[in-house]
Amino acid sequence: MAMNKTVDEFILLGLTQDTEKQKAIFGVFLILYLATLLGNFLIVVTIKASQALGSPMYFFLFYLSFADACFSTTTAPRLIVDAIVQKKIISYNECMTQVFAFHIFGCMEIFVLILMAFDRYVAICKPLKYTTIMSQRVCGVLVILAWVGSFIHSLAQLFLALRLPFCGSNTLDHFFCDLQPLMKLACMDTYVINLLVVSNSGVICTVSFIILLISYVVILYSLRNHSAEGRRKALSTCTSHFIVVVIFFGPCIFIYIRPATTFPVDKMVAVFYSIGTPLLNPLIYTLRNAEVKNAMKKLWCHK
């Protein structure tokens, strides 16, 4: 793999150059990041320790929370530290590692959301075959496939990033390393690489979003035959899943499905899905889910 680099480090401009705003960013994002870690940690530990949360839905929620915590960790700590240091420098190798980590955990989140939708589809549309279709072995295999798919996707992103030659400016107008801001600095025509990014990240986001939308439409259609109580319970679960899907996929599609142009709003959109979504997921899943809340109360009050 040829590496076309002539820079050893990049300077990250972060979210703002204003010193007062940077202090606010430090405070706000430190609280958000710690809340994200705490929320996802609580879900992970509760699901692992609780006998009541043994169903496939919680098995997948465990991996979603794990991916969320890791996904947030790929960008938030550096954004927080960079808000209070003078020189916001990231080495070339760290930058490439960040590209890889950001995409592996982001992609894992997408695949787990699809698995959760599939689980709800089977539970609601094929209840009699549910235990056969969603056996422990099947769920385990599906999660392994999700990790393998995420790894392949990230490897493709890393390969594209390593192909970029840098011979001029090394100032990245972003708060983390990703292909879009890196392409702006590359001293080559990035049209082909951008096409590959769109056909990789963009297509994964868009196709996954369409699959999820269709699955929820099918689920809602099949609910008409259920009892009022069954409908209410299924709607409650699906609504929380759907909120997460819209919050996560909207910004992703906005960033990855378009030509290599950058908008001033890009950084705020990136904040939303890289730091906002991992914080919202535990809130949405725990506040809207009585089983998780009860299991948490039992586990933590007992402790």
Q: Please report the pLDDT score of residue 97 as a whole number.
A: 97
The closest alpha carbon to 36, from 60, 70, 79, belongs to 70
Q: Please report the pLDDT score of residue 2 as a whole number.
A: 45
Q: What distance lies between CA 8 and its chain's CA centroid?
A: 28
The answer to whether 153 and 131 have CB atoms below 8 angstroms apart is: no
More confident residue, 237 or 139: 139
Q: Please report the pLDDT score of residue 303 as a whole number.
A: 57
Mean pLDDT of 249-275: 79
Query: Phi, psi (5° rounding) for residue 7?
Result: -110, 145
Whole-model pTM over 0.95: no
Q: Please report the pLDDT score of residue 263 as a whole number.
A: 65
Mean pLDDT of 132-158: 95
110: helix, coil or strand?
helix
Domains assigned to the chain: 9-302 (1.20.1070.10)
Q: State yes or no: pLDDT of 28 exceeds 80.
A: yes
Q: What is the DSSP string of 53-78?
A: --SHHHHHHHHHHHHHHHHHHHHHHH
Please count the residues of the chain: 303
| CB-based contacts of 182, cutoff 8 Å, min separation 6 | 95, 99, 161, 164, 172
Q: pLDDT tens-digit profile of 193-214? A: 888 888 888 888 888 999 988 9
Mean pLDDT of 244-257: 83
| CB-based contacts of 1, cutoff 8 Å, min separation 6 | 159, 162
Q: Please report the pLDDT score of residue 260 as a whole number.
A: 59
Which H helix or E strand runs over 153?
Answer: helix 136-162
Record the tokens describing residue 202, joined without a space: 């963009």
The answer to whether 85 and 23 have CB atoms below 8 angstroms apart is: no
Q: Please report the pLDDT score of residue 1 as a whole number.
A: 44
Can you give the C-alpha Rg of the chain in angstroms?
Answer: 21
Q: Average model confidence (pLDDT) for the chain?
A: 87
